Amino acid sequence: MEHNSVQELIKLGASQVIHNKEGIPFVAISHDYKLTSIEQYLPHPIKMRQHVKMNTVQSLINYINRFKNPHTTIFADDTRQSFNAVIDFHVSQDEPRSGSHTVEYGCPLSREWEAWQCRNNEKMDQTTFAEFLEERAEDIVNPSGAELLEIALKFNVIRKAVFGSAMRLSTGEYQFTYSEDNQKGTVELPEQIKLGLAPFHNGEKYEVKAKLYYRLQEGQLLLWYKLVEPERVIEDAFNEVTQRIQAGVGDLMIIEGRDA
């Protein structure tokens, strides 16, 4: 022990222990009667003071299981898609705890989910729309990615086309007529596509529907899509994570809310 620490202990030893809070002894220094904790001189801290942020659900479960006690409480906040576990939560109204040992996990959105959300309800010209379909073809379940790539390729080929009309076929597809260099043709596009997206990073994939829309304006074609109830998908994914955590930590209490 360093000389200064020895002198401090001698000084504190001449003082009177007057308070003990949560197992931590305090003394009053005689010259100014200031309460001073002597926890720093003990072999180890009396209690844990730690806030940890985890990157995966399993890491959260593992950490909770390592340090949990019967009173450990987990708060599930569906407005922020986050979980916060207070390891040293209150035992009862008559036996409160400091709640200084916590662990947090915020469900990060996946890159594919962010990509589709970023373009959601955004009007695009045919070329931009086609390029987007090419980039995200692996996310598309129905029609197949190959079919949509074929449509995207055709839109890219007729970049300078003038569109004349559009109609809905009995198959539920949109058919657009166009002319380019004195040649006429048609191109079809489904009214709706189905995506396979994991809302959260490394999470389970969900079926997400996207309705396609168009607008013809002076021979120019604008295309866009709207995701169908994306909030419900996020809610379902969050509930699944909650169930996974509950299964992983046993009978610990999970409360819907936020530890303010």
Q: How high is the pLDDT of residue 150?
A: 86
Placement of tokens 């003071």 in the chain? 49
Q: What is the pTM of this model?
A: 0.77
**CB of 74 closer than 8 Å to CB of 252:** yes
CB atoms within 10 A of CB 209: 16
- Helix (H) / strand (E) element for 198: namely none
- Say which residues have a Cβ less than 8 Å from residue 204's Cβ, sequence separation at least 6: 198, 237, 240
Mean pLDDT by 10 residues, the chain (260 residues): 52 52 56 58 63 94 95 95 94 82 95 97 92 92 85 83 85 87 86 95 94 89 95 96 96 89
* Helix and strand counts by DSSP (H, E) for the chain: 6, 16
Cα separation of 57 and 118, whole Å? Answer: 25
DSSP string, 28-42: E-TTT--EEE-GGGS
Question: CB of 81 within 8 A of CB of 104?
Answer: no
Residue found by looking up tokens 């079926």 in the block: 207
Q: Based on the number of CB atoms within 10 Å of its own CB, is 181 exposed (0-12), middle (13-18) or buried (19 or more)?
A: exposed
